[in-house]
Chains A and B, each alone.
Chain A
Amino acid sequence: MMSFLQNTALGLFIALMSMAAVQAQSAKDIMIMVDERTRQQNDSSFTILRISTCKYGLKGSKVKCTKKPVVKKLESASITVGQNGKDIQSILFVREPKSERGVGMLSHTYDDPNKDNETWLYLSALGKVKRMVASNSDDDSEPVSLFGSEFTTEDQETGKIDEYEYTLLDTVTYKGRKAVVIEQVPNASRARKSRYSKSVMWIDQERFLMLKAALYDRKGRETRRIFANKIEKINGIYLARSVTLMNLVESRLSNMALLSIDFGVDINPALLTKRALTDTTFREKHLKSLRAQAN
């Protein structure tokens, strides 16, 4: 049920935004680079995200929420550990809304397929920590939502390159930028678990950043679309500070705004333990230190 807890919002963000040293490479080469960069970016990062979800409509050729969006504000820190730095430990706290403040998740993700990922969930109002167990080998786990938004765990998975076929469709000019268009089609076993029959991605050829993606359902209809906006250079890396996923069927969108991101932050491993979930004073002390570094 809670397999989404294996992943963090940061993972999603970086997967979508990762830069790749794309030259005149094959589509698969490009994706391998993207995946590799994602892992590297996970090391010692501290992020503040805001995910807003609403029903949308068009007004004066602009996309607007038709109702007050549901907003979640999250703080997250992660480090890479283990052999070759392939295991990831991360912790995430909900800051808003007020009623969910203090909800926390601690994840240990292992590269070894024989080792189950571990996630601990903490609901502050009940004062309970629970270890959520879901096996890596469980083939019927379904993609689940990230904090109730339109983003799903499937949209942010890494390390699954071999489960897809990639085709370089074209090189185009998109919004004034040169971009390569890559089609990603899941193989037979992957297709059974995926809600998409294919994805088409526009990647900035110079900044190596995904600008747009069109996601197609099992019957080949475009049902979702991702747009990247507010592209900025942070710590020498180009990133979009705003990523929006539109559900074209239900006219709902989720916008993930990167309020701040810092790489190479000194994270005390003590923060990535169960104590940080339950001990507010302990947690705040460490977070305060991270916020200071970020500033």
Chain B
Amino acid sequence: MNRMLNAMALWFARVPNVCRPYRYYILALAFIGSVGLGLGIRHLEVDQSIDAWLSDDNIAVQALDDFRAQFGSDDGLFLVYRAKDGDVFSPKSLSLLRDLTDQIDNWDRLEPAALGVQDAVWKDLDHILRVQTLANLRYQENTPEAMVSRRLLPKDSEVSKEIAEATRARALDQDNIALQMFSENQEFGALVITTDFGAEPVLDAAQGDLDLEAEDEFELAFDDFALEVDETAIVQDVEFIEVQPQTYLAFITALKAIYNQDQFADQFEFYPIGMAGMMESSMDIMIQSGLLLGIGVVLLVVLLWTLFQTAAAVIWPVLCIVASMVWVVGGMTWLGIPTSQLLALSAMLVLAVGVADCVHVMSEYLYYRREELNHEEALSKSYEKTGVPILLTTLTTMAGMGAIAFGGLGQFVVFGITSAAGVFAAFVFTLFVLPSLLELWHPNPGKETTAPTSLVGKIWHIATLPFRLLFIVFRKIGLSWLFTAAWLPPLLARIPKFSFQFRGLIIIVFTLIFGICLYGASKVKIDSNLVDLFREGTPLRITYEIVDTHMAGTSSMEIMMDFYEEDALSDPTVLQAIDRLQEVIESKYSHLVTRTNSIADLVKSMHKTMQDGDQNFYTIPDDQQAVSQLLYLFNSSAPEDRQALVSDDYARSHISIQMRNAGSVEYAELLARMQQDIDAAFSGLSTKYEQQKITVTGSVALLMQLADVISNLQVKSLTIAIVIISAFLMLALGSFYGGMLAIIPNMLPSVFAFGLMGLFGIPLDTDTLMIAPLIIGIAVDDTIHFVTHYRMALAKHGDLARAIKEAVLQVGQAVTFTTLVLGICFFMLTFSDYLGLAKVGFFGALAIFVALLCDLLFLPALIYVFKPKFGVKDAITDTAPVAGASS
């Protein structure tokens, strides 16, 4: 093993020399590849739907697909408004609402330029199919003689106080529109905008030169047409256009331009709910995250600059890391693979691994340059020292990410493969491109700076003037000690002795922390709550809180019913069972459920209408023929609404449940209890409809599945990651015992992060759950660098204490640098308004610093106590370290 590792180290030492003659080809290839792949990023697709996270054969996804196939999808916009005068039925509110409804309904008559909207954005309003508000909603006026369909608010007359009051009275008299169209306190109202999002067919627009004589397959099929049934006939299902985020964004931008006009904005405050509304918040979050990451990268550059104090050691590594990310993201886009929010985590991982790779190389390189080696020798030596650990960390991280990908679940596969590819790209760039770049321009530590003579040199000199001035200021006020990490070498020099002297105490303290955090981690709850992921005061959170408090709520669930028998849904006993179930759900779970709606409500409403509006007839008739005829009436007047509610053969239907937002734990309890109610409600029908199947579906049910799937996957991937990392460490150290010993400091950072969450009652959500592989990836990176250096030093000197000292001094600096850089980058995410990302940032940063302490204190202490020889024969293991610089 030793021999193989040494051979590999020597191979890596030769890489810079082999690359040198081909450096221009390598750089040209890297440049062309980066530009070519980078061009693809413009077409990056982000799939934000929940079902994209789960595989197609998942039961919940199948149930939802089944539901959508039968009843269609409902991707509209619910535009809630607050009347500033506190009354949506005031003459002013109604009058302006009527204007607004009319403007949205007739958007094509408005002048987009006058509203400051570009034509290209404006045209996306043609997705609007229908606008329903208090201003255009109709009601049935009943008399024994006639049934008249009228508007709640008369269409043309001026809205006087009397008309407004009459409208209020009529609206309050309607079944099932309160909470949907106006709040109980009548301060809030809503515009229900139906769109064709997700329901727009993929059909070619008619061409100008239509072939009027052509006969297609339908025309041929209609020769001698007879109405016959054949269940095996192939239905040519039309695909629907997938809505792109930019479509939602354009739509909401154009709509906002209408409702934000002065006259409306003076009277109303608006709160959009729905994908289009969400998309704006998502984009804001993405822009903010990008900004925070940008600040992180600037800090990274500044830190690298202050630590290395040479521009080449900053610019080339940053270029390599950025190019690695471009290759992966661009490659995905060109391959047409849509990504998810997990892309940010992939980017962070590539950043982490790339920074570590480059910092280790540069740190060693500068170390040897200061040791008076020339550029070629220093480069060769630095790759000899770092090549093997970089390869090992790359393979380990790739294996860990591969474990996630092999889970086979939707976006996780993409995440796993992307991350593995990114880490590999970072490795390739560090190994081949970085030395080629260093050939162009390499740092000369210790060399006196002379006035530049070339034009480029002069420009550079001027461009870097602010930095140099900053350093002068730092030097004057004594901060250069802090920023240039001048404190680090003396501190590192003391660590071996310190960790030897207090080895027992260190082990006890770390083990205690490990134990406590393990207990905390066992207490951690997985609870995904969308609203809780956004900071107080963010627009999305305010909107959700308002809609949950005053209107019908922001979540929904569907109870899908299949009786496998024609006309089951016109059977009064079935409808009565549905009606009773709705009553139970509405009364038992009123803290979450705001309203329910089903075919039973419809039949009751039609029954009442046909009986002169008498409330006593708001019931389900006992006669099946009466029910059939009421449904006939509905089917004739609104067949599309009927299709969305019940199947053609009246065998399948659904109950829609509108709910307030809650966490996945609360939803899970609700689902479990509701299932019992469902079983109880339909048990009496099981003899009549033996095959009846009642299932719960909808986005909430899918969210439950997602949380469940992620937590299971997390446990699985963590277990696999630990096994793989242990195997790699054993291999790298050539010792089973040593590998087992080294795995403990790698587990501690993750356990620490999760433990703290458990102890402080911070729930894990679907985003935060994903940090474990990230933390392990970063932690193991440092550990591998440390132990491989230690092992090499042990093999070289045969002295445990000296090997630890050398490893701490040489690797300690690079490990501390990467920790500082990555820790600060992660910490920047803490400022995100999206708490899913902020938590990743905070706990990620914390774990990174814990990982450093584990490598510098815990691991040496363990080695001192347990004295693993890592396969090195005759190693001296009983000497105490001496403080001071390495020889």
Contact = CB atoms under 8 A, between A and B. Distances in A.
Of A53, A94, A100, A200, the most chain B CB neighbours within 10 A belong to: A100
Nearest to B623: A125
B233 A59 contact: yes
Interface stretch (B270-278, B631-639, B773-781, B797-805): B631-639
A134 B141 CA distance: 12
B153 interface: no
Contacts of B639: 144-145, 148-149
Contact of B625 (A4, A125, A140, A192): A125
A218 B136 CA distance: 23
Contact of B147 (A103, A133, A219, A248): A133
A160 interface: no
B225 A170 contact: no
B611 interface: yes
Contact of B636 (A65, A128, A144, A250): A144
Interface string A1-34: 1101000000000000000000000000000000
A36 to B, nearest CB: 26
A144 B217 contact: no
A125 B603 CA distance: 14
B203 A67 contact: no
Contact of A131 (B106, B145, B213): B145
A4 B637 contact: yes
A227 B635 CA distance: 24
B629 interface: yes
Interface string B570-606: 1000000000000000000000000000000000000
A9 to B, nearest CB: 11
B637 A244 contact: no
B230 A66 contact: yes
B177 to A, nearest CB: 15
A131 B629 contact: no
Contacts of B212: 169-170, 172, 181, 200, 202
B203 A248 contact: yes
A212 interface: yes
Contact of B149 (A134, A219, A257): A134
A200 B210 contact: yes
A126 interface: yes
Of B218, B220, B227, B228, the most chain A CB neighbours within 10 A belong to: B227
Interface stretch (B234-242, B506-514, B549-557): B234-242
B114 interface: no
A59 B235 CA distance: 9
Nearest to B145: A131
Contacts of B203: 221-223, 248-249
A130 interface: yes
A57 B220 contact: no
Interface string A213-240: 0001011111101010100000000000
A187 to B, nearest CB: 14
B206 to A, nearest CB: 5
A185 B751 CA distance: 69
B648 interface: yes
B560 interface: no
B649 interface: yes
A193 interface: no
A212 B636 CA distance: 25
B217 A61 contact: yes
Of B126, B624, B639, the most chain A CB neighbours within 10 A belong to: B639
A174 B213 contact: yes
B652 to A, nearest CB: 12
Contacts of B146: 130-133
Of A94, A170, A251, the most chain B CB neighbours within 10 A belong to: A251
A246 interface: yes
A55 interface: yes
Contact of B229 (A64, A181, A220, A223): A64
Contact of A144 (B235, B610, B638): B638
Nearest to B229: A65
B638 A63 contact: no
B205 interface: yes
B219 interface: yes
A69 B227 contact: yes
A148 B610 contact: no
Contact of A59 (B136, B218, B234): B234
Of B149, B220, B237, B640, the most chain A CB neighbours within 10 A belong to: B149
Of B213, B233, B567, B640, the most chain A CB neighbours within 10 A belong to: B233
B222 to A, nearest CB: 5
A227 B98 CA distance: 42
Interface in B206-264: 206, 210, 212-213, 215, 217-225, 227-238
Contacts of A45: none
Interface string A38-77: 0000000000000011111111011111111110000000
A221 B234 CA distance: 22
B653 to A, nearest CB: 15
B648 A61 contact: no
A121 interface: yes
Contacts of A158: none
Contacts of A57: 230, 233-236
Interface of B: 106, 126, 136, 138, 140, 145-149, 200-201, 203-206, 210, 212-213, 215, 217-225, 227-238, 566-567, 570, 610-611, 621, 623-626, 628-630, 632-633, 635-640, 642, 648-649
Interface of A: 1-2, 4, 52-59, 61-70, 94, 97, 99-100, 103, 121, 123-126, 128, 130-134, 140, 144-149, 169-170, 172-175, 181, 192, 198, 200, 202, 212, 216, 218-223, 225, 227, 229, 242, 244, 246, 248-251, 255, 257
18 contacts: A57-B230, A58-B221, A61-B221, A66-B231, A69-B229, A99-B570, A103-B632, A123-B626, A124-B625, A125-B621, A125-B625, A126-B630, A128-B610, A140-B136, A144-B637, A145-B637, A200-B212, A221-B203
Given A4-B637, A58-B221, A222-B206, 17 more contacts: A1-B140, A1-B637, A55-B235, A57-B230, A61-B217, A61-B220, A62-B228, A63-B218, A63-B233, A125-B625, A126-B626, A126-B629, A133-B147, A145-B636, A219-B200, A221-B205, A223-B201
